[in-house]
Amino acid sequence: MFAPYQHGGSSALALIDGDGYVFSPGYWRKGKEGGRQAAVVLHDTLAATAGLRSQLCATIYFNRKGLGSTLCANSICSKDQFEDFIVGFNQSTPLFAMIDAGHGKEAADAKIRGTLNFFAHLPQTKLILFGGAT
């Protein structure tokens, strides 16, 4: 039998619409290393914004096929660089993830709303940050 997870500290959560918020081209072109670098910059920026010494979780929901096609069609990166970037980002830290929400105008939005509704009610969640299209 498993004991429930006990978390004594506070948590900050960043939910990002990856279809509307894209990293700088230089990160995408570096593939796996660019994904790692982008995660470090995102972590440091979010930590400074949150002003908390807390557990920081960041999830980017996006349409993998659509974003990949757009970046490649605009010569931002190659398909391999795109895929490697995602791997590097996902491997950067256990609580950072890029998640394919699939196609559809509201696919990422639905995932963000669901995650927001879940974490907003947890007492450990001290701050939720949202990154979306302007």
Q: Give percent above pLDDT 70 in the chain.
A: 89
| Predicted confidence (pLDDT) at residue 6 exceeds the cutoff of 50 | no
- Mean pLDDT in the chain? 88
Separation CA 7–CA 104 (nearest Å): 36
Asked whether residue 126 is assigned to any structural domain, the reply reads: yes
Which residues, at least 6 apart from 87, have a Cβ–Cβ distance to it below 8 Å?
A: 32, 35
To 5 degrees, how large is the angle CA 51–CA 55–CA 61?
A: 95
- Residue 3 in any domain: the answer is no
| Residue 97 covered by a domain | yes
CA-based nearest residue to 102, from 11, 7, 19: 19
Residue 5, domain member (yes or no):
no
Q: What are the angstrom distances between the C-alpha of 125 and each of 32, 37, 55, 87?
A: 30, 26, 9, 27
pLDDT in tens, 57-99: 999 999 999 999 999 999 999 999 999 999 999 999 899 999 9
User: What's the pTM?
Assistant: 0.86
Confirm whether 55 is domain-assigned. yes
In this structure, is residue 92 part of a structural domain? yes
User: Is it the case that residue 7 has pLDDT exceeding 60?
Assistant: no
Better-predicted residue by pLDDT, 20 or 86: 86
pLDDT category of residue 17 using cuts at 50, 70 and 90: very high
Q: What's the structural domain count of the chain?
A: 1
Task: With respect to residue 1, please indicate whether it lies within any of the assigned structural domains.
Answer: no
Owning domain of residue 83: 11-131
C-alpha dihedral sign at 121, 132, 12, 114: positive
**38 within some domain:** yes
